[in-house]
Structure 1
Amino acid sequence: MASPAACAAPTEPERRRLRLRGAVQGVGFRPFVYNLALRYGLSGFVQNDGDGVLIEVEGAPHDDFLRALRGEKPPLAVIDSIDVAHIDPRRDRGFTIRESAGGNARTRIVADAAVCEACLDELFDPESRFHLYPFVTCTHCGPRFTITSSLPYDRPQTSMARFSMCEDCARDYGDPKSRRFHAETIACPKCGPRLERDPQAIVSALRAGRIVALKGIGGFHLICDARNEAAVDELRRRKARDAKPFAVMAANIASVSLFAAPSEAERDLLRRRARPIVVLPSKGTLPRSIAPGLARIGVMLPYAPLHHLLFHAAAGFPAAKDQREAASDFVIVATSANPGGEPLVVDDDDARRRLSGIADLIVGHDRPILVRADDSVMAVAGGAPIFLRRARGFVPEPIDLGADGPCAIAFGAHLKTTVTVTRGREAFVSQHIGDLDDAETVRFFEETTRHLVSILNVRPEIAACDAHPDFFSTRIAEETGLPLYKVQHHAAHVAAIAAEHGTSDAILGAALDGYGMGDDGGAWGGELMLLENASWKRLGHLAPLALIGGDRAAREPWRMGMAALAAIDRLDLSAKFFPDVPQAANVGARMRKQGAARTTSMGRLFDAVAALAGVCPAQRYEGQAAMELEALVESPRLLDNAYRLRDGVLDFAPFLAFVATERPSARETAEYFHGALIDGCADWIAEAAGALGLQRVALGGGCLMNRALADGLCGALRARGIEPLCARLAPCNDGGISLGQAALARAAFQTGRREKESAACV
């Protein structure tokens, strides 16, 4: 007699449809799924479409397949969600990769990624067909965002469309076992892009002290030998960049350690696949002219194959693999090729027009850059990484807003501008655009806005901008014809941090910044605010200082030094503090008679103290005085009675009087000032938090880029039982303003809609 098991009917195969959303195109996801299905003996298909990746699998079991799908995903993939539905079996045979389907794109492209170790192995392997090929790439690395015009991410929608694959590349592209299976950027010396000059010729030019314009991933760099001070000085002269620090590129971590002292957290940042510039403590062994007056230096590691080829050539073409990590004293300045503060140069013909007066040698290639993107800049502050500039390697990664909402477009401020577009629960902050001071940057602003809206395939319902009526970004927002929300500058700073931390409740915020037009039309910049729903309320501020000369005060810190003396009624000391400024006496006399506009800006307070310390009476770039003052700080010092706190106003007049009468050294002034700021701001915030019954504070504004202030203030707040929330996913400076604007506009729109619905019900 047959057993029950033997008599049972065959098990009906199970079929599931999986919808994956996130960064799942252009990262090798389809070949990954294909090989996973083969491993578990499943039939079905995988396909890219406008929503992401669609998978149908049939067979049993599926649970191991689903676990592996999440746990073993390709290194560049980000899975936001997997929706699973049971469908009728089709009893098909085998597993296939289908052609991509079009339609309304709801997926996203991943950010550019540094060349992976496997590709580097092939780059330096004489037996590989990719040996010394500067455009080697695979599904795990290489450019994505900067070469993509539209979605879905397929070769025809990228700047690789012009290059027809040779037989070898076509074979790899079609081989599910290859790391280049459906790698849209695949190319080799037979069929791919070509570099105009040999890397050895570029290194020879650098060794000879020449300046080279080199086309990279998101645009051109201007490079020179970082150890050749004459070359660095000449680059400054030609680029008309008198003092602003340059970034440098070194071969590896061992090489970085020859001239900088990175912490382990900073080493981790350097190694990120985005390869950002990381601001590190300098050992002072590189020429001072790279970062004049500063104690820190911006450093990045090579991220394009071409960069590695330069360091390989400089080292004499070593054959051993372990030489890739050996220390090298060959270091290059690598600064954005944007003459006169204009946008980054990305086109070869444009480079020859705009850079011929700066570079001795211009080296392009024939793979077009479709989206320009500067190098991202990061640091460690407040105990964790922060962005100083967010661009290549991170854009267009979204920031999760925690809940769905209307599609908003926010146009940022005037300086360090970005644009933010929201889609569902995600906010997409554009790459760094720059200061809207010239026609080229304005064109880049408009180009970025169009591309971001297009690649996200959205139609904005609302717009947001700064409350300042004269900003170009405000005028552009007004021309959209959309419902427009004008957001006070510092409320946007606080809202950006609340948004990235998923805070929808009332939150206390401290905006420590340079300038933003206040609700009263004044020049704000050191503000304590309460955000609740879509509204903001100013709870306190720094004691105002005179803004002598209006906008000129931000460029000439001696004017703020005069304002500090006026605040303590010691204008009689102006000649002693500013003997080299002939107009100081006349300015002081006018102030006694006429007064001046006033500002609560912490940035201007930094300028005032720097000027009194004799550090930086005139600035050649934004933030120079504050950065040079911070560079003097080894450890902040406490000073008794350095500030007053009354009715929400934080007044550092006692500290200013101490500096005026005691005349401490520049280093002592800097350290006592940072100690006073940390202690005073912590007390100021704690008093407001206690009155409101809140235990968290959002810390925003450009002054939080100051590591001494950020570290000290976060520690002081924690000691007082208050949790500091800092900007981690977008810059704390004006680069994050558009995110805060978008978040507040969405909240206001939804509040208004609820109110209308409530009124209709009544």
Structure 2
Amino acid sequence: MRVTRGFTVHGTVQGVGFRPFVHRLAGGLGLSGWVANVDGHVEGEVAGPADAVAEFRRRLRTDAPVLACVREVRWNDVTGAAPFQGRGRGAPPGPAAAGQGAVSGSGGETAPSTAQPRGGAAFDIRRSGPGPRSATARREIPADAAICDACLRELFTPGDRRYRYPFVNCTDCGPRATIIEDLPYDRVRTTMRRFPLCADCAVEYTNARDRRFHAEPVACPACGPTLAWESLRGERALKAAVGAVAAGGIIAVKGLGGYQLVCDATDPAAVAELRRRKRRPTKPFAVMVRDVPAAGRLARLNSTELALLTSSARPVVLLRARRGQGGAVPQVAPAVHSRQPVPAAHPGQPTPAPEPGLPTRSPAPAPVADRLGLFLPTTGLHHLLLHELDRPLVVTSGNLADEPIAIDDTDACRALKGVADGFLTHDRPIRARYDDSVVAAVGRLPLTVRRARGLAPAPLPLDPPASVPLAGAGAQLKHTFTLADAGVAHVGPHEGDLADAATYEAFTQAYADMCRLTGITPRAVAHDLHPGYLSTRWALEQPVPHVAVQHHHAHVAACAAEHGVRGPFLGVACDGLGLGDDGTLWGGEVFVADLTRYRRVGRFATAPLPGGEAAVRHPSRMALGHVFGAEPLGSPSLERVARGFLGRLDARLVEVVRSMVEREVNCPRASSAGRLFDTVASLLGLVDTVSYEGEAAVALEAAVGRAGRDHPVPLRHRVVRVGSLWVYDSAATLGDLLERQADGEPVPRLAAAFHSALAAVTAELVARAVEDGAPRTVCLGGGCFVNVPLLTQVRRRLRAQGLRVLVGRAVPVGDGGISYGQAAVAAARLTEAQQGKAKKER
């Protein structure tokens, strides 16, 4: 029996080789029909024997391309259909389409592809048309994908026509999100429309058996983008850039999602000069290595880390550094801890977020960590640079401190002219800004630290679904935004810190572009409680209903929503600073919560932040705040045991801070886990002043790595009852630390003992809450949980209590996940409100 079936496929199905896959699948089964990109999804029809159509239906999901994500397939019977005529609902009107010919001299789009599958039946890939935008259409933007093995072989095969061509790509790899100008995804709606296909590329593009069949970014030296270095082009430009790096210079390279600054990672003078020019004295750099064996010589990798390193996203992976490599090993790959500006009439500008990796031999001061940030080449251009130079390279964002990464050629030359010795650029425009993603593994558990190139903007599930389209505005640091509609959330790329007009402008532009591409027009916007955040100010300017979400509720809600937890849970937030609903600063919190509301059941003790934002930039001030003003919960005063610490600080600073604390002048109090890390780092003499956010915590975690296999006795801790809350008395821990330091215990042992104490405290606070009837599912959130020793020990202790322990994986546990958590809370609250209204009306 012969049947005809229509299908509609939703998900990430454009820009991932889905139409060519459908074409090959139907051809192999002897089916006729058509397929097309329509709006943001794929539509088509197949006709043929019923058993073959059934097999097509099964394999449409199971055999989809590796970069695709099929979320929903809808089928309909096509009854009484006329014989297949080669044009379906997804095709634009015939005359306009047919008149374009095989190769367009202006747009570079080829004519529809028609092949003769087995049995002589015709199957067509129809040219996509913009068509009417449906209010219910689901559009997903594919992320960029690193160069695949097949293209890499071509890159280094003499005689291949793409030999040493930096922009080699195919259906399985290459730029996507960074070149898309509009959907449906076709070449004419990408920045590749500027490069008409040559005859050879057009043959590949229209050949169903070729892996470049309908690969929209396809190009070659004859018709594609070209490298440039001043007046030089192509191979000569590449050689000039390689020579500049080899001579100790710094170059700006136009990457997939923006410009990158590149220098020799093993040249201390080059790294020091990059630090000076970029105004980045200690903040770590990422290091790109040639291949997996090169990474293995510098770091230890488990199977999870290897999978992350070699994934198509090619993120920066935080790895355990090998020691004893003669100083050639890049060190310092930080854990990232969240810090928020303190409430003030005019909140101070936050310092930047950390980035992994720093060459060991750099003379610039930097804390020594046992982790480093490594990543593999993303593009053919990266491979060529590493092949020619044969050494690790620092590859970092092409910007100055606090500014967004440059994507426009003119802006890059202006911003980086004092940093780069030369520019290796090309003539393919970058449509969207995407910095490098950063990930880590805690044992076998993968964590996303920064969700950007290769990962964003691939959508994430949202459960419960949003009843109306909405946006999450994000926080102030590590900023992202989220667009949500139905059961899907599109988390925008990492924008950095909303510290100045340029970053804010980059955010608003990215938001507008994402709304246009996804087709989502938010009818509500969720935001942080902090009135000084630029994201909050922006949200309150939007002419839609506003949903205020407490910072740490958003952290734990992000974890719960990612894992599909719809009922009550215990939320543990270990973070920097966030405004609480009582107007004070929070950061070490235990909640009984669901996605609509929360109840605070535990917290860390409070301590003053002398000078507000100044205490965050100067951990010594934070330590003095604990010494002179720790919350009185029964532990002895710290001043007596802190004499050694006080003695090494400037006496005038000590007296000024003492007076501020005693008089409560500009000393907001905070229950912050992140600020406790800063305090301990300063008390141990590791860091007193930081140049980037999280530096003190990085140094403290690094000290744990130097403790080796030693397992010191945890520092003392106390948990007391204060009203309705269980409260961690951190003064007991700090007092024990100072006493053991005075007795000569080494810093690494004390750092390890502090991490163990904090894990024990977290487990006890959770245990007390469970005893009081709290749920047994625990969701962990907040930037402190990127700290490997802390997360490892907390998970182990909570699991030993028989609890279900969850932590974000695809959603960053730090502030990069705040917007997703805000969207989840807003979706739940709006749904609850609608249900309540409907109930009343009944």
Sort the TM-score into its range (normalised by shorter chain): over 0.9
* SS of equivalent residue, structure 2 residue 557: helix
- Unaligned 5+ segments in structure 2 are 85-120, 230-236, 330-358, 631-635
Shift of 1:64: 2.1
* SS of equivalent residue, structure 2 residue 299: coil
Equivalent residues of 2:253, 2:260 under 8 A apart: yes
Are 1:90 and 2:151 counterparts?
no
The correspondence for 1:399, drawn from 460, 463, 485, is 460
- Alpha-carbon separation, structure 2, partners of 1:314 and 1:245: 22
The correspondence for 1:29, drawn from 18, 26, 35, is 18
* SS of equivalent residue, structure 1 residue 340: coil
| Residue equivalent to 1:124 | 156
C-alpha distance 204-53 of structure 1, shift in aligned 2 (>3 A): same
| Residue equivalent to 2:340 | none
Are 1:364 and 2:393 counterparts?
no
Shift of 1:750: 1.5
Are 1:732 and 2:794 counterparts?
no
| Residue equivalent to 2:683 | 612
* SS of equivalent residue, structure 2 residue 143: coil
| Residue equivalent to 1:488 | 550
| Residue equivalent to 1:504 | 566
| Residue equivalent to 2:169 | 137
Q: TM-score, length-normalised on structure 2?
A: 0.85
Equivalent residues of 1:173, 1:180 under 8 A apart: yes
The range that moved more, 746-755 or 631-640, is 631-640
Are 1:168 and 2:200 counterparts?
yes
Shift of 1:593: 3.4
- Alpha-carbon separation, structure 2, partners of 1:145 and 1:206: 29
Are 1:157 and 2:189 counterparts?
yes
| Residue equivalent to 1:631 | 702
C-alpha distance 220-270 of structure 1, shift in aligned 2 (>3 A): same
Equivalent position amino acid for 2:569 in 1:
I
* SS of equivalent residue, structure 1 residue 339: coil
1:273-284 correspondence to structure 2 within 5 Å: 273-284=312-323
C-alpha distance 583-380 of structure 1, shift in aligned 2 (>3 A): farther
C-alpha distance 182-414 of structure 1, shift in aligned 2 (>3 A): same
Equivalent residues of 1:432, 1:735 under 8 A apart: yes
Q: TM-score, length-normalised on structure 1?
A: 0.94
Equivalent position amino acid for 1:654 in 2:
A
Shift of 1:539: 1.2
The correspondence for 2:372, drawn from 291, 297, 308, is 297
- Alpha-carbon separation, structure 2, partners of 1:18 and 1:35: 16
Equivalent residues of 1:382, 1:726 under 8 A apart: no
Per-residue CA distance 1:224-257 (angstroms, 9 max, x = gap): 0000011001100000001011000000110112
Equivalent residues of 1:29, 1:73 under 8 A apart: yes
Shift of 1:267: 1.3
Are 1:79 and 2:70 counterparts?
yes
| Residue equivalent to 1:318 | none
| Residue equivalent to 1:584 | 653
| Residue equivalent to 1:8 | none
* SS of equivalent residue, structure 2 residue 240: helix
* SS of equivalent residue, structure 1 residue 222: strand
* SS of equivalent residue, structure 1 residue 357: coil
Are 1:657 and 2:735 counterparts?
yes
1:212-223 correspondence to structure 2 within 5 Å: 212-223=251-262
The correspondence for 1:339, drawn from 377, 396, 400, is 400
Equivalent residues of 2:17, 2:215 under 8 A apart: yes
- Alpha-carbon separation, structure 2, partners of 1:189 and 1:745: 50
After the TM superposition, which segments of 4 or more aligned residues of structure 1 sit over 6 Å from their partners? none
Shift of 1:724: 1.1
The range that moved more, 22-31 or 290-299, is 290-299
Equivalent position amino acid for 2:38 in 1:
D
Are 1:52 and 2:36 counterparts?
no
Per-residue CA distance 1:666-700 (angstroms, 9 max, x = gap): 21220110010111111111221232242111100
* SS of equivalent residue, structure 2 residue 181: coil
- Alpha-carbon separation, structure 1, partners of 2:654 and 2:23: 78
Equivalent residues of 1:351, 1:362 under 8 A apart: no
The correspondence for 1:642, drawn from 705, 717, 724, is 717
The correspondence for 1:678, drawn from 759, 764, 768, is 759
Per-residue CA distance 1:403-450 (angstroms, 9 max, x = gap): 432211111111111100002100111000111111100101101110
Q: CA RMSD in A?
A: 1.6
| Residue equivalent to 1:69 | 60
Per-residue CA distance 1:60-87 (angstroms, 9 max, x = gap): 1222222332232222111111112221
Equivalent residues of 2:719, 2:765 under 8 A apart: no
| Residue equivalent to 1:264 | 303
Per-residue CA distance 1:556-603 (angstroms, 9 max, x = gap): 111121123233423355552142434333135415631443110001
- Alpha-carbon separation, structure 1, partners of 2:716 and 2:165: 64
Per-residue CA distance 1:437-485 (angstroms, 9 max, x = gap): 1110010110111011111112111111001112111111111111101
Are 1:194 and 2:265 counterparts?
no
C-alpha distance 225-754 of structure 1, shift in aligned 2 (>3 A): same
Shift of 1:264: 2.2
* SS of equivalent residue, structure 1 residue 757: helix
- Unaligned 5+ segments in structure 1 are 1-10, 316-329
- Alpha-carbon separation, structure 1, partners of 2:281 and 2:44: 56
Shift of 1:533: 4.6
Equivalent residues of 1:220, 1:336 under 8 A apart: yes
Equivalent residues of 2:715, 2:733 under 8 A apart: no
Aligned sequence identity (%): 42
* SS of equivalent residue, structure 2 residue 751: helix
The range that moved more, 347-356 or 288-297, is 288-297
The range that moved more, 726-735 or 76-85, is 76-85
Equivalent residues of 1:574, 1:584 under 8 A apart: no
The correspondence for 2:491, drawn from 425, 429, 448, is 429
Shift of 1:311: 2.1
Are 1:713 and 2:799 counterparts?
no
Equivalent residues of 1:571, 1:588 under 8 A apart: no
| Residue equivalent to 1:748 | 829
Equivalent residues of 1:674, 1:708 under 8 A apart: yes
* SS of equivalent residue, structure 1 residue 658: helix
Equivalent residues of 1:213, 1:223 under 8 A apart: yes
- Alpha-carbon separation, structure 2, partners of 1:477 and 1:196: 41
Shift of 1:743: 0.9
Equivalent residues of 1:214, 1:364 under 8 A apart: yes
- Alpha-carbon separation, structure 2, partners of 1:638 and 1:86: 70
Q: Aligned residues, how many?
A: 736
- Alpha-carbon separation, structure 2, partners of 1:254 and 1:747: 47
| Residue equivalent to 1:6 | none
* SS of equivalent residue, structure 2 residue 458: coil
The range that moved more, 145-154 or 524-533, is 524-533
Equivalent position amino acid for 1:300 in 2:
F
Equivalent position amino acid for 1:616 in 2:
V
| Residue equivalent to 2:416 | 355
- Alpha-carbon separation, structure 1, partners of 2:19 and 2:756: 55
* SS of equivalent residue, structure 2 residue 37: strand
The correspondence for 1:465, drawn from 512, 524, 527, is 527
Equivalent residues of 2:716, 2:736 under 8 A apart: no
- Alpha-carbon separation, structure 1, partners of 2:288 and 2:576: 30
- Alpha-carbon separation, structure 2, partners of 1:72 and 1:303: 26
Shift of 1:383: 4.1
Equivalent residues of 2:319, 2:371 under 8 A apart: yes
- Alpha-carbon separation, structure 2, partners of 1:363 and 1:332: 15
* SS of equivalent residue, structure 1 residue 632: helix
Equivalent position amino acid for 2:616 in 1:
A
| Residue equivalent to 1:16 | 5
Equivalent residues of 1:47, 1:98 under 8 A apart: yes
- Alpha-carbon separation, structure 1, partners of 2:76 and 2:604: 58
1:171-250 correspondence to structure 2 within 5 Å: 171-197=203-229, 198-250=237-289
* SS of equivalent residue, structure 1 residue 675: helix
Equivalent position amino acid for 2:377 in 1:
P
